[in-house]
Structures are given as C-alpha cells and as structure tokens.
Amino acid sequence: MIYCKRVYDATSLEDGYRVLIDRLWPRGIKKTDLQCDEWNKAVAPSNELRKWFHQNTDQFEQFITQYRQELNNNESAWQPLVEKAKQGHLTLLYSAKDTQHNQAKVLKAFIEEKIQGK
C-alpha cells in the first residue's frame, strides 16, 4: 500500500516506510522534527520543472508528462521505493499545499504501475 501525506500531517502506525520526496526541505519543520526514514531528493521533480509548475499550476497534465519523463530517465532514484512498497506500506511525504495536484500523486501512480509490471 502506498500513501501520500503532507509533511505537516500527523504520523500513523500505517505509514510504514516514510520518504520525503521534495527537492527542498519543507518550510517550518526542523530536520530533527520530521519523522521520516529517508529524504530522497533524487526522485523529486528537477528544479526547472518544480519552478515551472509553481508558475503554471493550472497545467497539471503537462507537469505529469514532464515529471514521468524525468522518472523514466532516473530509475536508480525510484527503484528502491518500488522495493519498499513491495515489502510493506510506503508513505510519500510532500509539502505542497495542494493535496490533489502534486508530485506525490504522480509518483504514487508511477510506482504502482512499476509494481504491476507496466
């Protein structure tokens, strides 16, 4: 099971392995306060794509396409997350305010496809 959760949300026993998937550390949280097992910056959207999407939030479909291209070119970043998800619960932590249009949702779908062999 893969969950997407904002870094500001409370932890849960069901979270399993918790991975921060933002390129930048979330505002307002001390590194010692965030309960996560890993900070995987490499799986986050590139700085260029992140900045572009920040300015073009209405173009989520284009963001999905571009981010998936980046993921396809960076297997070493996401492959360990596929293995973690196969072993148990995986929670993708992100700091975006929009809970429906963010990189965690895209990455979750991407990982699920890889698990299914697509």
CA distances from 60 to 55, 67, 72, 91 (A): 11, 10, 18, 22
Cβ neighbours around 24 below 10 Å, total: 10
**What is the pTM for the complete model shown?**
0.94
Is the CB of residue 95 less than 8 Å from the CB of residue 27? yes
Per-residue pLDDT, averaged over 89-105, amounts to: 96
30-89 residue pLDDT tens? 999 999 999 999 999 999 999 999 999 899 999 999 999 999 999 999 999 999 999 999
72-91 residue pLDDT tens? 999 999 999 999 999 999 99
| pLDDT band, residue 117 (cuts 50/70/90) | confident
Residue type, 24: L
b/e sequence 26-47, b meaning 16+ C-beta within 10 Å: beeeeeeebebeebbeebbbee
